[in-house]
Chain A
Amino acid sequence: MPPYVVKEKCDGCKGKEEPLCEQICIGDLMTLDEKTNKAYCRSLRDCWDCMCCTKICPKGAIEQRIPYQLGYHGARLIPMVGPDSITWTCIDINGKIERFSFRTRNKK
């Protein structure tokens, strides 16, 4: 399920060209709408759900749903990134919440 950009939160990374999601996307799918100055995914069906864009977005403006092979509607996976840590919040289709915190290999 492709990324969904919350237009109210996205600020186009202020720099006007190449927002962070565009730089991080392995498939080069995210890009900036020049008119609205908001990011969007230009080819939804090519997205692999790697969630890089969701993790990097400083405004928390990109949401991603879990693909149907893994969980049905209602299931969600939300990352929160720290300097050297990541916390995942997993919500299954019954609304059960589980959280995991990990150290990442990022230098602090």
Chain B
Amino acid sequence: MNAKPNIKVFVCSCNGIIENVLSVQDLTGGVQDAGLEALSHPFLCSQEGIRYINENTDADTKVLIAACSPFHKQSEFSNLRTNKFLIHRIDIRDQCAFVHKNKPDEAFKKAQTLIKMGVEKVRFSNSIDQFSSDITKTIAVIGGGIAGINTAIFANDAGLKALIIEKSPYLGGKVKELFTYFPRMCPPACGLELFFNRLRHNRISALTLTELISLEGNPGNFELTYKRYPRYIDENKCTVCGLCIQECPNQAIYLPNHLCYPSIPLLDRQSCLNECMRCSEICPTNAINLNENESFDKLNAGAIVVATGWDSFKPDKLSEYGYKVIDRVFTNLEFEKKIKELTDKKTTVAFIQCVGSRDDKNLPYCSDVCCMVSIKQALSLKTLNHDNEVYIFYNDIRTPGEYELFYKRARKEGIHFIKGIPSEVKETTNGEINLSVYDTVLNKRIDIKADLVVLATGMMVSDGTLNLKQVLDKNLNFNENGFVVSHLQCYPQDSLREGIYSAGACRGPMDVASSINSASSSVISALSFINKKINQYRDFPNINKEKCDVCKRCIEECPHNAYLFDTKGFPYADENKCRRCGICMGSCPVGAISIGSLNIEQLSSMIDVIDVGIFGDDEPLVLAFLCQNDAYRAVDDISKYGGNYEPNILTIPIPCAGAVNGLIVAKAISSGIDGVIVGGCEDAQCHFSKGSSLAQERIKSIRDKLTEMFLEPERVSFFHIPRDGSNIFLNQTKNFLRVLRDMGRNPLRII
């Protein structure tokens, strides 16, 4: 009746290593007895081996490879001609021949069962084709500071279009306000001018006076709505002739900086008092329109880079430092401007470090740059007049790496570094500023009279980032200090959503050099995302509408908010948001959801073919569903350390512990399997954020059910197995098997 299934089983003897323990011939013989074609090869991962498989299969053949762990030699086996989703690999080496060396008979039985299960898995697998979706090859950069500018430049260099969305009238952000860069002490104008020149490219457009107000669409095809504030001067028409600047009676039109991008004057509508309209009349190109209004517009982008930068900490709260009370007390950012106005008259300047930073009540972190900034400003003062007295009151000077040489230069210049933080800045009756500090090295109080005081305030999260928090909400992860951080060590540029990256000081305090670095890393990520999106498999969840009851549990439990309703009211997963974790498959109470690499049918028929009495009537048989990110690999490692465990445990890799459906566990227990283990990551380490905790929840309801049925709830257990948790697995399973033996066999087992 049934046509012979197009399934081929290849057994590798791994150059005799597997053969030493298991008889490959007997394994293939067993498969042939079941009516399937089975072939063996001494070395499947070699070039000849791959050729041997390709010669014996065609594109539709379902291939089962019984060899080493599916996570070894992945690149070699990716050269097979069969569709990736029709190939299944089972491990008869690392988790069978190696770890059960001393028990060859049991190892053989286990391998046989694994092959039987593997056959069932490939039998119910479906081929999945690749598709490419249309990608907007544009990166939208939010923020036009140094990080944003460089992101746009790097994107342009990589062949992408770039759009900068900047809220203020000009690009350049905070860097534009700086006096010099450290450690080379060159003016930022020099570097910025070069950057601005590179921005003048037809693939880059900079939208100033614009603000992002909403984000729609999907990674690869985001739709951004932005608000454009009136500029009153048409960028394209203005020739910067300067007539309007001369004509305005209120000085409401001016060029704020000699280095402006876009290089057109600023029209300050608030200072424009009498609406004389003289500027618009005089403009030779009719570029001025004083009646311009706010406008809204949309743009499309494939990826987004958030570069909303930082704000300077406002030391108003620290009233003891007299900021805004004494007019000669500045923050370091204000001092950058002030320093330009200073003459070579001898002055005494005191810098107070860590103002607001490393402060539990304000910014609990170190702001990274303030030490270098103060040293830079101190050196500038020394350059202005070498007789200037400069005191830096510090707590710890932090100049990592080669910045230390800069610090040394400052010490050699005669800048006084005093370890001790003044507690207050006071103005004496004769108008001098007095700082009284306890020098913790001298163990003595010293009093210093200063002409100017500079508070080295830290970098804090910017208003732009806070505004963006409302727009992007669930797409970005903000840490407790408000910075955009997702996974600091491994993926500092990523956000919670594909296609959205971050660069610059919105990730945390950083200097100009690090900002430029971060810009390039975010562009690389965006670029690889855009390239990857072009060829992807259609392996996202598939919902069987005959079974689906529209209970919406999948929608609720999906950690990536990927589920939406289709026109008929059924849920479907948005391919762009889905990360193929399979948590929906585990959540579905009726087992209607399957993902590309695994489905309920496969798991169910894998359980069907297990001969529960294979190791003897009273020997327990355990099925272990292991998360393939951490737990399964940890178990793989056991053979490397020469460890061993009992062969009674059959492991099945799954994309996430959350992909194990309660129905499958129920079926396993019903069909007489004595114990079921679900192995997942620690809750906080779950690669799909909620998978591990959801799995535990489900295991708990099954245990409740078992208790109700007068079965031992201990038969179903959840183990936390981290990536390096080989020993945890060994100990836990040893206990688990002991408990199972004490309980006796599963009453549902049919003998």
Task: Name the one of A17, A19, A89, A108 contacting B709, with C-beta atoms under 8 angstroms.
Answer: A89
Indicate whether B80 reaches chain A with its CB closer than 8 angstroms. Answer: no
In the complex, what's the smallest C-beta–C-beta distance from B473 to chain A, in angstroms? 21
Q: Which listed residue, B704, B709, B750, touches A9 by the CB 8 Å rule?
A: B704
- A34 to chain B minimum Cβ distance, whole angstroms, is 16
* B601 / chain A contacts, CB cutoff of 8 Å: 83, 107-108
Provided the pairs A56-B589, A101-B748, A108-B601 are in contact, do residues A82 and B553 lie with their beta carbons within 8 angstroms? no
Are B710 and A89 closer than 8 Å at their CB atoms? yes
CB within 8 Å of A: which of B648-665?
Answer: 661-664
Q: How far is the CB of B546 from chain A (nearest CB, A)?
A: 8
Q: Verify A59–B667 contact, CB threshold 8 A.
A: no
> Are the CB atoms of A85 and B549 closer together than 8 Å?
no
How far, in whole Å, are A17 and B551 apart by their CA atoms in the complex? 8
With a cutoff of 8 Å between Cβ atoms, the chain B residues found around residue A82 in the complex are 604, 663-664, 666-667, 670-671
Give the shortest distance, in Å, between B517 (CB) and chain A (any CB): 43
B555 and A85 within 8 A (CB): no
- Nearest CB in chain B: distance from A22 CB, A: 9
Contact present for B710 and A97 (CB under 8 Å): yes
Contacts of B591 in A (CB 8 A): 83, 108
A105 at the interface (CB under 8 A from B): no
Q: Mark B690-716, 1 if CB is under 8 A from A, else 0.
A: 000000000001101100111100000
Query: Which B-chain residue is minimally distant from A82 (CB atoms)?
Result: B667
Find out whether the CB atom of B553 lies under 8 angstroms from the CB atom of A81: no
Give the size of the chain A interface in residues (CB under 8 angstroms). Answer: 33
Q: Provide the residues of chain B in CB contact with A57, threshold 8 Å.
A: 589
Question: Is the CB of A26 closer than 8 A to any CB of chain B?
Answer: no
- In chain A, what residue has the closest Cβ to B709? A89
Q: What distance in Å separates the Cβ of B751 from its nearest Cβ neighbour in chain A?
A: 13
Chain A window 32-76, contacts with chain B (Cβ cutoff 8 Å), 1 for yes, 0 for no: 000000000000000000000000111110010000000000000
Contacts of B547 in A (CB 8 A): 107
State the CA gap A51–B551 with chains docked (Å). 18
> Which residue in B552, B605, B701 is a CB contact (below 8 Å) of A60?
B701
Q: Does A91 contact B (CB under 8 A)?
A: yes
Residues of B within 8 A of A7 (CB): none
User: Is A93 at the interface (CB under 8 A from chain B)?
Assistant: no
A83 in complex: contacting residue of B557, B664, B669, B710, CB < 8 Å: B664
A29: Cβ under 8 A from any B Cβ: no
Chain B contact residues: helix, strand, loop or mixed: helix
Most B-side CB within 10 Å, residue of A13, A17, A23: A13
A residues less than 8 Å from B710 (CB atoms): 89, 91, 97
B662 partner residues in chain A, CB cutoff 8 A: 58
Question: By the criterion CB–CB under 8 Å, are A80 and B705 in contact?
Answer: yes
Pick from B555, B670, B671, B747: contact of A15, CB under 8 Å: B555
A84–B667 contact, CB under 8 A? yes
Q: In the complex, what residue of chain A is closest to B553 when comparing beta carbons? A: A14
Q: Are B748 and A87 in contact (CB under 8 A)?
A: yes
Q: From the candidates B553, B605, B709, B748, name the one contacting A13 in the complex (CB within 8 A).
A: B553
Q: Please name the residue on chain B nearest to A76 by beta carbon.
A: B708
> Contacts A82-B667, A99-B748: A58 and B705 contacting too (C-beta < 8 A)?
no
A92 CB-CB contact with B under 8 Å? no
- Whether B446 is near chain A, meaning CB under 8 Å from some CB there, is no
Residues of A within 8 A of B663 (CB): 81-83
Asked if A83 contacts B704 (CB within 8 A), the reply is no
Contact residues in A for B550 (Cβ distance below 8 Å): 18, 23
Is A58's CB under 8 angstroms from B671's CB? Answer: no
The answer to whether B669 and A13 touch across the interface, beta carbons within 8 angstroms, is no
Shortest distance from the beta carbon of B743 to any chain A beta carbon, whole Å: 15
A86 to chain B: closest CB distance in Å? 8
Say whether B549 contacts A23, CB under 8 Å.
yes
Contact of B670 with A87 in the complex, beta carbons under 8 Å = yes
Is the CB of B600 closer than 8 A to any CB of chain A? yes
Q: B60 interface residue, CB < 8 Å from A?
A: no
Residues of chain B within 8 A (CB-CB) of A107 are 547, 601
Residue contacts A-B, CB under 8 angstroms, 25 given: A13-B551, A13-B553, A13-B589, A14-B557, A15-B552, A15-B553, A23-B549, A56-B589, A80-B669, A81-B663, A82-B604, A82-B670, A83-B603, A83-B663, A83-B664, A84-B667, A87-B666, A87-B670, A87-B709, A87-B748, A89-B709, A97-B710, A99-B747, A107-B547, A108-B605
**Known contacts A58-B701, A108-B591, then 11 further A-B pairs from the complex at CB < 8 Å, ordered by chain A residue:** A13-B552, A15-B556, A20-B551, A20-B589, A23-B551, A60-B705, A78-B708, A81-B663, A82-B664, A82-B666, A97-B710
Measured CB to CB, the residues of A under 8 A from B are 9, 13-20, 23-24, 56-60, 63, 78, 80-87, 89, 91, 97, 99, 101, 107-108
